[in-house]
Structure 1
Amino acid sequence: MSIVSAIVRILQQWDELKTHFEIARRDERCFTAQLLYEMFSDKKNYVFLIFLKHILGEVQSVNKKFESEVQDPTKLLNDLVSLVDSITAKIIIPGRKLKEGESLQNHLDPHPYLGYEFEKEMHQCKIPQEREIRERCIQFVVELAEQLRQRLPDNVKVLKKMSLLSVNECLNQIKPGILELAQMFVTNEEILTRIDFQWKKLHYMSWNQTSNTLDLWAEIASYRDASGENPFCDLSDLALTILSLPHSNADVERVFSHMNIVKSKLRNRLNLKSLNAILTIRYGLRRHGSSCHTYKLPQEVLKKIGTLRAYEATTQQPGSSKDEATLYSEEEIGDWELADLE
């Protein structure tokens, strides 16, 4: 969505760009400069960019929330739904509510208000093609709204219940039930019953991490009662499963970027196990606010470094003894370098 910043820069330097291309077409006889000069001389393009600046600005704001690493996942879907509703409301008849899957074309406002700056510019310029410009803006919003609506999942009404997992909702004494959301991920009736009971008694406990949703559920998952058991294990497993779902492709792209940094051309022989271990360590240290320079390895790990015991498989085949544990190959052992932790 860098197009928004580009539009802002173009609008700020409109007259300068127009003059630049006028000189270029006159002195250099450049055909491209001639086309650009004609575009900058057309006031319709200027007004249309003013309209786009605010519409795409709203979209970019929500898009940045999905790309952020510190967002509250329980609010992302509601932000997307609110964006669709706000954009749709700009062009349909006021007070009209659309049914699911209903076309916008049948409910368009004949005289929609397209924003203060746009309306002011239209009034000052008095462009003869005002109707054409307005129709162009309306059709852009219609297409944008349709594209956003297509990206909403079919079960959006149920997924909106993810907000129940937020700090304010789950610790509230009066709160809706969680079964409708839980049934999307759990089919066992016994587990669903336990989740329901655990949900209803969650607010009776005193929790420390009440400022962040993820930190709260991490605390709930690690809680132990007097007998050493977690009375909220089923509920916390459900919550962490839902909260760990990727809400956009930003996280996936971020992992691929880190993978390309780790597995460079000079280290192209890294196998999958080593690569996965390095990335796991990277994200683990980052999650705990540490780094390879400040993290202190346990003594038992330090004693294994430089010995074959450090490369023994962590899992054993059924029926095999500890001494029969499979060892990694020499090639795999060579991949484990201290530099890999950086």
Structure 2
Amino acid sequence: MLNPQAILGHDLSKKHITSISELLYYFPSICPENITELDREWRTLRRTNFNFDETETPSVDKFWWHISKLKKGDGSAMFPLLSTLTRKLLCLPHSTATVERLFSSINVMKTKLRNKLSTTTIKGTLHTKSEIKNCFEFNVTNDHLKKFNKNMYDFNQNKDETENQEDSQIENEIAAS
């Protein structure tokens, strides 16, 4: 239902989906209050002509990011409720295996002796573990060395800077793709 192929009509077997209310039945906790307006947005989306052809249909996340950026003539979002709903749906894990692996990693890190690890430290350790598989092949740059100073222990300052950098990095990656 969230697949661009079905929305754009390239997958004719899914073309019969005319209302999004069927989906909302299964996710009542993320359902917006104004279902009628959401359904109107869905129907408008289905009638909107996009400049994608069958060979260049974008991935699901890029497609919905593009949809969330569409504006009406007055500058307001064209599909605000639908964009919010799809973001919530796309955040749901497809299986519990990934979540279980993550909690297992946290339990290995956070023992009785190390129970006061901050969320920032745990997050950093998890990122390091996932990104750097082999420490012997990791190349340390001058930029890395510059970051190792007394300021790296100022958690409140680093937390705000890190969150802002991560947000802008994610937006840049999505926009570039």
User: Which position in structure 2 is the counterpart of 1:306?
Assistant: 151
User: Which position in structure 1 is the counterpart of 2:85?
Assistant: 238
User: Which position in structure 1 is the counterpart of 2:22?
Assistant: 180
Corresponding position: 1:256 with 2:98: no
- SS of the residue corresponding to residue 268 of structure 1 reads coil
Pairing of 1:119-268 with structure 2 (within 5 A)? 164-172=1-9, 175-183=17-25, 184-185=27-28, 186=31, 188=33, 191-203=34-46, 204-206=48-50, 210-225=57-72, 227-259=74-106, 263=109, 268=114
Q: Distance in 2 between matches of 1:168 and 1:309?
A: 48
Q: Distance in 2 between matches of 1:311 and 1:247?
A: 34
Structure with the larger RCO, 1 or 2 (CA within 8 Å, 6+ apart): 2
Q: Distance in 2 between matches of 1:241 and 1:308?
A: 34
Unpaired stretches in structure 2, ≥5 consecutive residues: 10-14, 132-139, 161-177
The alpha carbon displacement at 1:249 in A equals 1.5
Unpaired stretches in structure 1, ≥5 consecutive residues: 1-163, 287-292, 297-301, 316-342
Q: What percentage of aligned pairs have identical amino acids? A: 23
Cα distance change of structure 1 residues 309 and 270 upon mapping to structure 2, 3 Å threshold: closer
> Residue deviations 1:243-290, cap 9 Å, x none?
3222322121231354357x377x93552422454378x39x97xxxx
> Residue deviations 1:162-213, cap 9 Å, x none?
xx1111212237642111212443262xx21221111112141536683322
Q: 2:69, 2:77 within 8 Å by CA — same for their partners in 1?
A: yes
Q: Distance in 2 between matches of 1:216 and 1:235?
A: 13
Q: Distance in 2 between matches of 1:309 and 1:275?
A: 12
Give the number of the structure whose alpha-carbon radius of gyration is greater: 1
Q: Distance in 2 between matches of 1:239 and 1:272?
A: 31
- SS of the residue corresponding to residue 36 of structure 2 reads helix
